[in-house]
Amino acid sequence: MSANYLWRAVCRAARALGRLHAEQVQAWQVWAQANRTAVPAEGPLRWVSTLDGRRLAGRHLPAGTGAGETP
């Protein structure tokens, strides 16, 4: 009979950890969306804040988007 109670406690703890994990993931997603800034496609060249740090943005940048690409 004690094994049954132990099994129920383990299952309850696993469900609680699953809910806690889901809430933590949602909190990080909301935080990331709240701190996202729009990168302007038009306008003069300037520094803008992004999630990865400060980046140069504006219409005077080359069209290439990744390393190794030619503009």
* For residues 66-71, average pLDDT: 47
Given this model, what pLDDT does residue 60 score? 64
The residues pairing with 16 across neighbouring beta strands, listed in sequence order, are none
d(CA 54, CA 3): 56
The residues pairing with 46 across neighbouring beta strands, listed in sequence order, are 57
pLDDT in tens, 2-53: 889 999 999 999 999 999 999 999 999 888 877 766 655 566 777 777 777 7
| pTM of the shown model | 0.46
d(CA 23, CA 9): 21
Paired tokens of 55? 């980046």
Given this model, what pLDDT does residue 71 score? 45
57 closest CA partner among 69, 71, 41, 70: 41
Given this model, what pLDDT does residue 53 score? 79
